[in-house]
């Protein structure tokens, strides 16, 4: 076996963390033959709970897990890490405005960016899950200037998986037959789930569904509002599916995308497709040798253009609010 990959999970005592550490430890992300050293970070009041999680990791007797470091100190958690799943964030409380949540969380990601800058490997790959994920990833990268911008990404894979599952259900086909569903923009209600270029068993999803009104209407709303529907049913937010999506995202980043397939990731926008640049925008990407590239040249109709503009505008507003919070806190 090779030497262990050092993997940090923040918010490891939380809901998503509980599923995520098991999936990473089982070899689902870095490979069943790759040992991992798990660095688990949470806040001081959660240390007893995190200790319980560590007990369960031990009891899983996972062959890939070589070491577990549980800490409330980012400098310990981020020391020489190769990969980071930044899940830990303040949850939205009742009566809290989106702006208040953004203010609380971007401060966390500013501090964690600074800590990554000082302690992580320069090659670390950082996936931000904690919301608002796109803007948190932007802030985190901004405060980690010694780490390349390309090493930061935000999770929209859950939305992609949801879109893929809805298409599979609609067509009564296995979910693995559906490929290249795209999530554009922000991981929020303005995201644009797009199946214009998706395929089912090699054929166009658009033609197979043959119902443009559904694709442009109920399908989009269903994916955009799926998180709320899970909360309504479970009385808790998506956790198992979010952990699975985080693993899918990192596995694609680590192992690459198969020929002819792409995945959606929030990455630094270079203005491709006329989108706002300088924000973390979710694009279709292909990945080779650990490097992502935005898929170019997909035809974008006026309907899609309008959707890209709305979600890009929201990301610019979030970025401006986040930067104002960070500079006020200096
Ligand atoms: P949770 O509340 O169960 O767990 C969050 C954990 O983070 C808690 O243990 C908390 O103590 C910890 N935490 C808070 N501040 C921290 C800090 N500064 N450093 C380290 N740990 C810290 O929440 P859950 O359900 O696990 O969700 C986590 C985040 O993921 C939330 O922001 C949620 O909105 C987001 N999320 C994102 C999704 C996406 O698709 N991008 C999907 C689902 C959730």
CATH number of the domain enclosing 216: 3.90.110.10
Domain ranges, residue 52: 5-154
What confidence score (pLDDT) does residue 97 get? 75
Q: Could you say which of 131, 154, 177 is where a domain stops?
A: 154
Q: What residue ranges in the chain does DSSP mark as E strands?
A: 5-10, 36-41, 65-71, 83-86, 125-128, 152-154, 178-179, 182-184, 192-194, 199-200, 203-204, 263-268, 280-288, 291-294
Atom of ligand 1 nearest to the CA of 236: 25
| Residue 266, SS3 per DSSP | strand
What pLDDT does residue 1 have?
55
* Residues annotated catalytic, as ranges: 187
Is 312 labeled as ligand-binding?
no
179 and 312 inside one domain: yes
- What pLDDT score was predicted for residue 327? 86
Q: Is residue 325 part of a domain?
A: no
Which atom number of ligand 1 is nearest to the Cα of residue 41?
A: 20
Report the pLDDT value the prediction gives residue 91, as an integer from 0 to 100: 77
* pLDDT (tens digit per residue) in 217-251: 999 999 999 999 999 999 999 999 999 999 999 99
pLDDT at position 32 is 93
Residue 173 shares a structural domain with residue 305 = yes
Q: How many Å apart are CA 202 and CA 189, to the nearest integer? A: 30
146 with 276, same domain: the answer is no
Cα of 183 vs centre of ligand 1, distance in Å, is 22
Q: Are residues 165 and 78 in the same domain?
A: no
* Structural domain contains residue 327: no
Complex ipTM tops 0.90: yes
Distance CA 222, CA 188 (A): 13
Same domain membership, residue 108 and residue 37: yes
How far apart are the CA of 265 and the centre of ligand 1, in A?
19
Residues 145, 15 share a domain = yes
Helix ranges (H only) for 143-217 are: 157-171, 205-209, 212-216
Q: Among 154, 184, 211, give the residue marking a domain's end.
A: 154
Interval 66-113: pLDDT, tens: 999 999 999 999 999 999 999 999 877 767 777 888 999 999 999 999
Residues 98, 166 within the same domain: no
Quote the pLDDT of residue 219. Answer: 98
pLDDT at 86: 98
- The model's pTM: 0.97
* Closest by CA position to 136, among listed 115, 105, 97: 105
Buried b / exposed e along 299-320 (16+ C-beta atoms within 10 A): ebeeebeebbbebbebbeebbe
Q: How many domains does the chain have?
A: 2
Predicted pLDDT of residue 93:
72
Taking 50 as the pLDDT cut, the residues of the chain under it are: none
17 is in an annotated binding site: yes
237 burial type by CB count under 10 A (0-12 exposed, 13-18 middle, 19+ buried) = middle
């Amino acid at each position: 076996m090779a030497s262990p990959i050092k993997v940090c999970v923040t918010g490891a005592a939380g809901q998503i963390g509980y599923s995520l550490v098991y999936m990473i430890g089982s070899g689902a992300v870095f490979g069943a033959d790759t040992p991992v050293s798990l660095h688990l970070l949470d806040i001081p009041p959660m240390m007893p709970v995190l200790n319980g999680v560590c007990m369960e990791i031990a009891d899983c007797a996972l062959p890939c897990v070589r070491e577990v470091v549980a800490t409330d100190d980012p400098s310990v958690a981020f020391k020489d890490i190769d990969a980071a799943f930044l899940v830990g964030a303040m949850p939205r409380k009742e009566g809290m405005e989106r702006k208040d949540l953004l203010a609380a969380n971007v401060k966390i990601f500013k501090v964690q960016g600074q800590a990554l800058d000082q302690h992580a490997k320069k090659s670390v790959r950082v996936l931000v899950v904690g919301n608002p994920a796109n803007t948190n990833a932007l802030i985190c990268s901004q405060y980690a200037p010694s780490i390349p911008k390309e090493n930061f990404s935000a999770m929209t894979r859950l939305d992609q998986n949801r879109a893929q599952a809805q298409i599979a259900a609609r067509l009564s086909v296995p979910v693995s037959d559906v490929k290249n569903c795209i999530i554009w923009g922000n991981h929020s209600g303005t995201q644009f789930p797009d199946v214009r270029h998706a395929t089912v068993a090699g054929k166009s999803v658009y033609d197979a569904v043959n119902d443009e009104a559904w694709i442009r209407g109920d399908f989009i709303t269903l994916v955009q509002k799926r998180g709320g529907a899970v909360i309504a049913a479970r009385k808790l937010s998506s956790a198992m599916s979010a952990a699975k999506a985080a693993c899918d995202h990192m596995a694609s980043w680590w192992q690459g995308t198969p020929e002819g397939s792409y995945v959606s990731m929030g990455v630094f926008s270079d203005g491709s497709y006329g989108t706002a640049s300088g924000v973390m925008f979710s694009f279709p990407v292909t990945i080779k040798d650990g490097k992502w590239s935005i898929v170019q040249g997909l035809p974008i109709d006026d309907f899609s253009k309008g959707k890209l503009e709305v979600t890009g505008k929201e990301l610019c507003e979030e970025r401006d609010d986040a930067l104002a919070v960070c500079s006020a806190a200096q």
